[in-house]
Chains A and B, each alone.
Chain A
Amino acid sequence: MKKYIYFLIIPFLLGSCSSDSEFLDREPSNILTQNQAFGSPDIVLSVLADLYNRYYDFGTVEDWSSLAQFNVAFWSEAGRYGYFQNGGYGYGDWGTWDYGYIREMNLFLERLELSEALDPADKARFAAEGRFLRASYYFTMVKRMGGVPLILESETYDFSGDATYLQHPRETEAALYDFVISEADAILADLPSDVNTKSRASKGAVLAMKARAALYAGSIARYGASTPQVSLPGGEVGIPVSRAEEYYTTALSAAQSIINGEVGNYSLYEKKPNLSENFASIFYDKSNNPEAIFVEDYKLQSGKVHGFTIANQPRFGAEEEEGGRINPALSLVQSFETLDGEYAPLPIEDASGNPIYYDTPEGVFANRDARLMGTVIVPGSSFKGREVDIFAGIQLADGTIISGDSRGQQKEVMGTDMKVVGFDGPIDGLEFTAQTGFYIRKYQDPKAGSGQRGTQSDVWFIRYRYAEVLLNAAEAAFELNQPAVAAGYLNQVRRRAGITTDLAAADITFDRIAHERFVEFAFEGLHFFDLKRWRIAHEVLDGTPMDAATITDNIGDATKRLTQPFGLWPYKYYNPGDANDGTYIYKIVKPNRVTSADRFQFGNYYSEIGAGILNNNPLIVRNPNQ
């Protein structure tokens, strides 16, 4: 019987479809031709979306560690302690050289130009967005590499065996900044001035980029003079000091266009009465947020989500068995001023060196800049309605400390069974506990499920926000010798943080500007470029270890050493019958996994250009000091 089946198959083999030739001529269903792709605005937008998606961020919520570098935080993850156990940075670190991305943006602009099916207004907007992204990436490159070859059209190899016509030398650093600024001017008219256009380019985004770029260029010109080693004779690195004034003026006027409402009604986010909650909300409240100017947006159940909250949620009561990775360092926490606008160390000891006893664990942080609690989860504060449980141990009257090595451990203390360490630690070397005594709050998503791997978070990442525009304007005004103008902008940001004493024009110094940016933009990926453009990275990260005795000195000094993350651990005081029984005291500690001090060398200011690139193109000069 089985054989019959073969007979049945034979006709099928012989038979064939009548339209074989048509079959081979079919239009591919998975590739769009150039005419199709640039024939409808929807598909052009898809092409553009891919380019948006490849935007280079230095710090991003998709990679928590990228936001917490340079010892503003300790990383509470077992595999990452090495970051605090090596002495510095590789010359190639932070490098970027993605001319593939640039080529695709150039191709996009060229093909868009050829398209005839699009409405001219749509076409102009798409072109402006493409140019915005291209300028943004050149800005990214110049920040990290210095001047790079400026390629503004797609190039094709002709297979002649001689590729020298494709080799371009590096432009000067100033030329790259000039390019970013001139592109911003050129595309401004073609973009909408709409506050609610946040994940696509808008007039606000372009001006914010222009202000930032001009400010960076101005400061490299002015402060680069103090480190003549960090420059190249051809100007590929370094900007002549004579151009500082011009760049600062550009930065100030671009920022003021936004501040004066010329491109939409941007303002500081001031919706919530609790100022700390208000500050934290900037980063997760996505409805009618007037502060965010340009963002990387996410959406639940769309595939574009991120795990920042999973990685950093307080470990106690976390929605997964992880969290707590970013532990802000004491150097950052103590930098937040008091509400009177004074720099002050956290009051943990009285004048004669005795500990100060606090009834609640958050007592020591009272009367501080509201941004502290908006940026950092301190002992005693809550996240998602649950109070964090951070205390390092029990201290007895004679100074003995009893602690544990597992979260929430119980031990017998003077005959009583009690918990001797919090469920959130801190426990040295135990990952996911608050090893500095702090967790991060910025970007943490308060929605239920944000800490679950199956749901994740859709909190956006803000690339440009109104407060930065204000502080950029303030810095530019200060550098242009207009301290009263600078004070006005600084005070807007400081009042929002609850600081009651305004700064006068005479109070504005370089350290003030640097300090305000340090606390306002902590964990936003801007600190690193501030250190670089002011040429103070080699002083802040000088490779010298820090110690608990001097860490509280010189708060607010821009060049204050920050080579190691320190912590502040609360202890419960146990002395039944004493008035202070059950209160909290604090100690400055260095997490014991921190064993070396970071050192930023002159060769780190501009990332190394790879040997492969130098070999392929002999016109490229190397960066200095490498």
Chain B
Amino acid sequence: MKITNYIYLAATALLFASCEIDNYDEPESFFTGNIVYNGEPIEVGAREVRFQLFQPGFGALAPLDMHLDLDGSFSGRFFDGDYKLKFINGQGPFKAYEVNEQQGDTIFISLRGNTEMDIEVLPYYMLSGETFSASSTAVDAAANYDQIITDADARAIEFARLYLNDTEQVSNNGDYHRVWSDMTVGSGNLSGSTALPDGYAKPYIFARIGVKIVGVEDMLFSPVQKLDL
């Protein structure tokens, strides 16, 4: 019996023991910033748009995914080192600038401690001058849009929609909206109205305008607006 007790004791001790070589420091450097056009963040859908970081020099090269938040910001924690930042073709309602012919749109970044960096890209459109107003039955909204890419790659607006949700996460995909309706797309402006969900009881609601561009999967959004009812 006593031997058994010793075995248990030894086993318990082993749980606390560990090998020094296993203990890496955790990544300590924050890499944060926004995806911007002329300094203004580009708002996107929830969990939709991502870019990738690659860190060469350690054998197997696997991408580190960075997802954009709704407001176009990103944040990740990494080890110090030199990384390559690459946008994925066809992701996001924008195009990455080409740095130079050889480098393509890859951006070289070096992380040494917390790093904040805004990345300039070229969006197809930008929204401005959003106005929202709520009544007891519906939310009205209007906005102006500017076409930024007007050369051979110019793309038309497929549709614009006004999304409403009861949390500040508002997007076109998944569960990120309660109701939506199509908006009227005029020349340079959008307007529309969405009825509140049936039996909506909360004293506030969040609204957001989304614009779908022909042939581009990820929509462009306005900032989320909280409205008191």
Q: Which residues of A contact B (CB under 8 A)?
A: 86-88, 227-229, 538, 543, 595-596, 599, 601-603, 611-612, 614-615, 624-626
Closest to A601 in B: B217
* Closest chain B residue, CB of each to CB of A602: B217
**Minimum C-beta distance from B70 to chain A (A):** 15
CA of A362 to CA of B217, assembled, Å: 43
**14 A-B residue pairings within 8 Å (CB atoms):** A86-B174, A87-B175, A228-B215, A538-B217, A543-B173, A595-B175, A596-B174, A599-B173, A599-B174, A611-B60, A614-B61, A615-B59, A625-B90, A626-B88
Please, which residue of chain B has its CB at the minimum distance from the CB of A228?
A: B215
Tell me what chain A mostly uses at the interface: helix, strand, loop, or mixed.
Answer: loop
Separation in Å of the A35 CB from the closest CB of chain B? 41
Q: Bound state CA distance, A228 and B217, in angstroms?
A: 12
Interface size class of B (residues with CB under 8 A): 10 to 19
B227 on interface, CB distance cutoff 8 Å: no
Closest chain A CB from B44 CB (angstroms): 14
**Which residues on the A side are within 8 Å of B175 (C-beta)?**
87, 595-596
Of the candidates B60, B90, B172, B215, which one forms a contact with A615 in the assembled complex, judged by CB atoms under 8 Å apart?
B60
Q: Are B90 and A602 in contact (CB under 8 A)?
A: yes
Smallest CB gap from A610: residue in B: B62
Q: Are B62 and A624 in contact, CB atoms less than 8 angstroms apart?
A: no
**What residues on B are CB-neighbors of A88 within 8 Å?**
173
Q: Return chain A residues, CB-CB under 8 Å to B102.
A: none
Further 5 A-B residue pairs, CB within 8 A, beyond A88-B173, A227-B215, A543-B173: A87-B174, A596-B174, A615-B62, A625-B89, A625-B217
> What is B's interface to A at a CB cutoff of 8 Å?
59-63, 88-91, 172-175, 215, 217
Complex alpha-carbon distance, A595 and B217, angstroms: 22
CB distance from A160 to the nearest CB of B (A): 19
Residues in chain B near residue A228, CB distance under 8 A: 215
* Minimum CB distance partner of A595 in chain B: B175
Which chain A residues lie closer than 8 Å to B63 at the CB level?
A: 611
What's the count of A-B pairs with C-beta under 8 Å?
Answer: 41
A615 to B55, CA, bound (A): 13
Interface SS, B side: loop
When distances are taken between beta carbons in the complex, the residues of chain B under 8 Å from A611 are 60-63
What is the chain B residue whose CB lies nearest that of A229? B90
Contact indicator A624/B90 (Cβ below 8 Å) = yes
Contact (Cβ within 8 A) A543 B172: yes
In contact, A615 and B61 (Cβ under 8 angstroms): yes
Whether A229 and B215, one on each chain, are in contact in the complex, defined by CB atoms closer than 8 angstroms, is: yes
Provide the bound-state CA to CA distance between A626 and B87, in Å: 10
Given contacts A229-B215, A602-B217, A615-B62, contact A625 B173 (CB under 8 A): no
When distances are taken between beta carbons in the complex, the residues of chain A under 8 Å from B88 are 625-626
For the complex, give the distance between the alpha carbons of A483 and B215 in Å. 31
Asked if A624 and B60 sit within 8 Å, CB to CB, the answer is: no
A599's nearest neighbour on chain B, judged by CB, is B173
Q: Give A230's nearest chain B residue, CB to CB.
A: B90
Give the residues in chain A near B173, CB-CB below 8 Å.
87-88, 543, 599
Tell me how far the C-beta of A356 lies from the nearest C-beta in chain B, rounded to whole angstroms: 27
What B residues does A624 contact at CB under 8 A?
A: 89-90
Shortest distance from the beta carbon of B211 to any chain A beta carbon, whole Å:
16
* In the bound complex, CA of A229 to CA of B88 (Å): 12
The complex places the Cα of A543 from the Cα of B91 at a distance, in Å, of 17
Residues of A with C-beta under 8 A to B89: 624-625
Query: B174 to chain A: which residues have CB within 8 Å?
Result: 86-87, 543, 596, 599
Closest to B45 in A: A543
| Chain B residues with CB under 8 A of A602 | 90, 217
Give the residue name and chain of the B residue nearest to A226 (CB). Answer: B215
Closest 7 CB pairs of A and B: A87-B174, A625-B90, A611-B62, A615-B60, A229-B90, A543-B173, A602-B217
Which residues does chain B contribute within 8 Å of A543, judged by CB atoms?
172-174
How many Å lie between the Cα of A603 and that of B61 in the bound state?
21
Q: Complex: how many Å from CA A538 to CA B59? A: 37
User: In the bound complex, what is the Cα–Cα distance between A624 and B89 (angstroms)?
Assistant: 7
User: Hey, which chain B residues are within 8 Å of A229, CB to CB?
Assistant: 90, 215, 217
Q: How far is the CB of A165 from chain B (nearest CB, A)?
A: 20
A228 to B174, CA, bound (A): 26
Q: Which of B63, B89, B215 has the largest count of A CB atoms less than 10 A from its CB?
A: B89
Which residues from chain B contact A601 at a C-beta distance below 8 Å?
217
| Closest chain A CB from B54 CB (angstroms) | 10
Which A residues touch B172, using CB under 8 A? 543
B91: A residues at CB distance < 8 A: 625
Cα of A614 to Cα of B174 in the assembled complex, Å: 31
Cβ–Cβ < 8 Å partners of A614 in chain B: 61
